[in-house]
Structure 1
Amino acid sequence: MTTSAPTDVELAELSRHSVELILRLQDPSGAYPASPTFSAYQGYSWFRDGAFIADAVSAYGEEGSASRFHDWCSGILTARSGRIREVVDAAAAGSPVPDERMLGTRFTFDGAEGSDEWWDFQLDGYGTWLWAVVEHAQRHELGIDRWLPAIELAVDYLASSWERPCFDWWEEHAEHVHVSTLGCIAAGLRAAQAVVDPVRADACADAVARIRALIARNGVVSGHLAKWLGSTDVDASLAALVAPLRVYPADGAVGASTIAALDEQLTVDGGVHRYLLDTFFGGGQWPLLSCFLGLAYADAGDTARARELLEWAASTVTADGDLPEQVPHHLLFPDRRQEWIDRWGTVATPLLWSHAMFVRLQVRLEVGR
């Protein structure tokens, strides 16, 4: 990229390169690696990150790649049908299984949990996957039957357990119920409602209604969504609930207030922080979060602001054409950066999720298309 404002051609070229990178790094199993070289992520694929990656390449027109990822997720779920039934039955009996018996958030490319410790109990990825697989099937007019058994398992799992505290998008604060997690679950169950049997459809509708009521009571502060139930803070992951998940429409009161709060509190010169107390690698700015906020602005009709956020994300690309997880242009806690470099090495680069969200916003804005 040049130091001046990038042209439509340059932005479209970065998007094309991003898709090519994602397709080249996709494992034969269908899994999308989070980052091919970063020590803590290497060899793993996340349901959450992967679902957003699949949605981006699907929107770009790469139906086959997205379908292979959904096949991989489907295989993981169906292989754990007995474990999911254990979770569902225990919840129905009023004796929920312990957190360590819940499904993991990331898996090796061959579908295993992996042997190293991780902050694994996260529910949002299964909701995000439900949303992404149904969206993909509708976008490309595909039959849903190949994924329906896994969809049913994910619906049963989430409908039984959505109220449980768990780790958030950032693998933190397992003691809380996070609003972004609830929103991802609501988006997934709402999407699944259209493709499952009537009994499950009713369970989806009931859970979505209860989630929205709970957020309205305890997850909205000063008119905008909050980081977790009872919190007064915001988190950049909340932008996803406005777009692309559209749980809270951008032209609605909560959606509009959330966009404004995220821009005011977490955004500096187009770069978006995760949250104000973030110390991970010093608390830098994340290109993928600028793109999520850009998608929300695009839904709100402010394509100029969305374009600014896309351009900021483009400005973080390396000389090799890679988009990082975060950049240190404006650190919240600069004295905390080195400890993470000492622990895990330099910031994950490339991060496929960053490339995917750039693609998703570029497609949404039809820049260069």
Structure 2
Amino acid sequence: MVSNTADLDALLAHSRELIVSLQDEGGAYPASPTFSAYKGYCWFRDGAFIADGVSSSGEVASATAFFEWCAMVLDKHRDRIRAVVAAAAAGTPLSGDQMLPARYTFTGELGEDYWWDFQLDGYGTWLWALVEHCERHGIDVSPWRDAAELTVDYLVSSWDRPCFDWWEENSAHVHVSTLGCIAAGLSAAVDAGLVDGDRAARASETRTRIDRVLADEGTVDGHLTKWLGNPALDGSLSALVAPLRVLDADSPVAIGTLTAVERELAVDGGVHRFRADTFYGGGRWPLLTCFLGLAQLAVGDREAARRALDWAAATAGNDLMLPEQVEEHLLDESFRQEWLDRWGTVATPLLWSHAMLLRLAVEIEETR
């Protein structure tokens, strides 16, 4: 149990060491080293947030290696990207199983087992995290230009397609968090000069279109929604306030979104994914609590951000490992055993949880 400053410092040091020690020699981060369904795979989304977390805490080489891995994967699958872009331009978009997957093996290959793979968010997130890393540490972004161009072309061609969300569910919808990740990545690529000319113009135009869609179709009662046309909330929406900064922190929609998440998804300090969640019974997630803390810090509520950090840190076990979710206050306990039988106990450690704890701790310290 993490209960004081010394314990927190030990947990943060452990989190850095854990992530770096588990990173594959080629740069990929395992989502969880032992969890049956995640073992042996690296997600662009999870990996990008993991890289951002360790980058913010000073692990420069580790984050750089991950972004080099991303570039390698994109180069390996450039023909698939070109096929996607060409089909979209011709008005005959490819099916979801022909799009880029959410996760790859550590060598950049497609997985052989079934997964809910067509997800667009990770490709925007890696661009955003790359630019954050390079600006944070004064690194030249130009070595990633080719990979960025491939990514921007892919996203511009397909940004408005329904796909699986962060949670690998609901493939028939356009998800607001996914749009936010795409918007952040496109803007980062343009602002950093990773793309120029007509490609930069298309990226900027797409960002403008996403902003319009978010305002017109992704906002209800003053807050962002889970997907277009659905008034429900999702815990991932906090990320659009911070760290992605898709919304201005002082905007009414940002404030309204955080207020709604705190009211409807936060319980005793921890944040649920969404009200209808049944995955392992629907527990509260440390990483989502850290996202909320980052957003609270961005709007000026440092005390709330610190409470989020403390809650997330307190979910660590005696071995200082952070889980994907905690098993107290489940939304529907009747589903818990089904997932235990299917995949075993909750993923622990989850590297994304450790990375978000690092990111929030750094941000809180920098605002002192």
Q: TM-score range by the shorter chain?
A: over 0.9
| Partner in structure 2 of residue 92 of structure 1 | 89
Q: Which TM-score applies when normalising by structure 1? A: 0.98
Give the letter for the 1:104 counterpart: P
| Partner in structure 1 of residue 348 of structure 2 | 349
1:308 positional shift: 0.5
Give the letter for the 1:270 counterpart: G
- What is the aligned-residue identity percentage? 60
Give the letter for the 1:38 counterpart: F
Q: Does 1:279 align with 2:274?
A: no
Q: Give me the whole-angstrom Cα distance separating, in 2, the residues matched to 1:256 and 1:236.
A: 14
* Equivalence map 1:97-246=2 (5 Å): 97-194=94-191, 195=193, 196-246=195-245
Moved over 4 A (4+): none
**DSSP-derived class of the 1:193 partner:** helix
Deviations 1:271-296 (A, max 9, x none): 10000000000000000000000000
Deviations 1:67-89 (A, max 9, x none): 00000010000111111111111
CA RMSD between the two structures: 1.2
| Equivalent pair of 1:179/1:215 in contact (CA under 8 Å) | yes
Q: Give me the whole-angstrom Cα distance separating, in 1, the residues matched to 2:197 and 2:9.
A: 43
Q: Give me the whole-angstrom Cα distance separating, in 2, the residues matched to 1:186 and 1:153.
A: 16
* Equivalence map 1:63-82=2 (5 Å): 63-82=60-79
| Equivalent pair of 1:12/1:367 in contact (CA under 8 Å) | no
Q: Give me the whole-angstrom Cα distance separating, in 2, the residues matched to 1:7 and 1:362.
A: 14
Q: Give me the whole-angstrom Cα distance separating, in 2, the residues matched to 1:353 and 1:62.
A: 15
1:263 positional shift: 0.4
Give the letter for the 1:317 counterpart: A
**DSSP-derived class of the 1:45 partner:** strand
Q: Give me the whole-angstrom Cα distance separating, in 1, the residues matched to 2:299 and 2:212.
A: 24
1:8 positional shift: 3.0
Task: Name the stretch that deviates more: 168-177 or 10-19.
Answer: 10-19
Q: Give me the whole-angstrom Cα distance separating, in 2, the residues matched to 1:207 and 1:152.
A: 14
**DSSP-derived class of the 2:213 partner:** helix
| Equivalent pair of 1:8/1:368 in contact (CA under 8 Å) | no
Give the letter for the 2:166 counterpart: W
Q: Which TM-score applies when normalising by structure 2? A: 0.98
Q: Give me the whole-angstrom Cα distance separating, in 1, the residues matched to 2:336 and 2:36.
A: 16
Q: Does 1:363 align with 2:362?
A: yes
Q: Give me the whole-angstrom Cα distance separating, in 1, the residues matched to 2:275 and 2:12.
A: 30
Q: Give me the whole-angstrom Cα distance separating, in 2, the residues matched to 1:198 and 1:301.
A: 38
Q: Does 1:30 align with 2:16?
A: no
Q: Does 1:14 align with 2:15?
A: no
1:368 positional shift: 12
1:7 positional shift: 2.9
| Equivalent pair of 1:184/1:245 in contact (CA under 8 Å) | yes
| Equivalent pair of 1:9/1:368 in contact (CA under 8 Å) | no
Q: Give me the whole-angstrom Cα distance separating, in 1, the residues matched to 2:107 and 2:277.
A: 33
**DSSP-derived class of the 2:119 partner:** coil
Runs of 5+ in structure 2 lacking a partner? none
- CA 1:39–1:368 in structure 2 vs 1: closer, same or farther (change >3 Å)? farther
Q: Does 1:306 align with 2:305?
A: yes
Q: Does 1:331 align with 2:327?
A: no
| Equivalent pair of 1:11/1:362 in contact (CA under 8 Å) | no
Give the letter for the 1:233 counterpart: A
- CA 1:368–1:257 in structure 2 vs 1: closer, same or farther (change >3 Å)? closer
Q: Give me the whole-angstrom Cα distance separating, in 1, the residues matched to 2:154 and 2:64.
A: 22
| Partner in structure 1 of residue 51 of structure 2 | 54
Q: Give me the whole-angstrom Cα distance separating, in 1, the residues matched to 2:59 and 2:251.
A: 32
| Partner in structure 1 of residue 42 of structure 2 | 45
| Equivalent pair of 2:32/2:350 in contact (CA under 8 Å) | yes
Deviations 1:106-137 (A, max 9, x none): 00111111100000000000000010111111
Q: Give me the whole-angstrom Cα distance separating, in 2, the residues matched to 1:359 and 1:161.
A: 33
Q: Give me the whole-angstrom Cα distance separating, in 1, the residues matched to 2:254 and 2:197.
A: 30
1:190 positional shift: 0.5
Q: Give me the whole-angstrom Cα distance separating, in 2, the residues matched to 1:367 and 1:309.
A: 16
